[in-house]
Amino acid sequence: MKWFKHFSDSLDDPFIQELMDNFGHQGYVAWFGILEIIAKENGAKLTGNLEISPVYLKRKLRISSAKLQQIFEFCSGKVGEKLEKSSTKPKLLFNFSKEKWVFSVPKLLELKDNYIKDLQVAGKKPSHHKEEEEEEEKNNKKRFSILFEVLWGEYPNKDGRKKAMAHFNASVETEQDSIDIKVALDNYKNHLKDNSWKPPKSGSTWFNNWRDWISWQEPKQNGNQPKEGDKRWHQREWEIFQDGQWEHDSNRAVL
């Protein structure tokens, strides 16, 4: 991709304002810098995904790796102790190791240049489309593979990776799926945080039923139920949790 849209009022965007409030000009440079790098590396086959060395990013953006990691975690919705959580939705998926950083920015697909967009509107294909279709299929597999690695890195129970990946491959096939599963995982992690006594499901189980958590909302507790600190609460809630039965009862909690 040769270029992407950069709106003239970007500085007024609430996300950009929060980014600069927390990180100054470095936040602005890091955000638009990573968009440019992903667009360049993706080329004509824009996926919004990238695996890259943090050493390269440090040199390219002139910002320390530690600061870049902090900025990108903020962009992904993760915040440190000294930072306030962003009031806007996460802008990217970010996972990292010492040697490799992995990014996924679905939003970048909405900012594609006119050449690619016009072809899609007209139902046409670029030249050598057969080869490009094969390349696109290959890139899609790689893109969703990267997405799985990012999500798996965030999931709290690493049991059942092979089956989890199989469930992921069978259920995540579109850009909307990739957005929905991230929302579902955030909802599930918040659920575990609010119910800290619950052990997380195995990875294979959760990735088989992740759609259940897309629109999840924590139910309100009934006034006649045992208190959360009561031992009976924990035992009964865990039984209900295992059975998958979420119903009202004078002696049970509502999940």
Residues 6+ away with beta carbon under 8 Å from 122: none
The segment with the largest mean pLDDT, out of 4-18, 118-132, 140-154, 182-196, is 182-196
Q: What is the per-residue pLDDT across 38-80, written as a single tens digit (0 to 9) for each?
A: 888 877 777 889 999 999 999 999 999 999 999 999 998 875 5
Neighbour count for residue 13 (Cβ, 10 Å): 12
Tokens 């970007």 belong to which residue? 10
What span, in angstroms and rounded, lies between the C-alpha atoms of 210 and 207? 5
Neighbour count for residue 142 (Cβ, 10 Å): 14
User: Taking Cα atoms as reference points, which of 71, 75, 68 lies closest to residue 53?
Assistant: 68
Q: What is the per-residue pLDDT across 201-252, written as a single tens digit (0 to 9) for each?
A: 999 999 999 999 999 888 876 655 544 444 444 455 545 545 554 444 444 4
pTM of the model: 0.43
Give residue limits of the domains in the chain.
1-131
Q: How many CA atoms lie within 13 A of 65 on its CB side?
A: 12
Helices (H), 155-230: 161-171, 175-194, 203-208
Length of the chain, in residues = 255
Per the DSSP assignment, residues forming a β-bridge with 49 are: 104
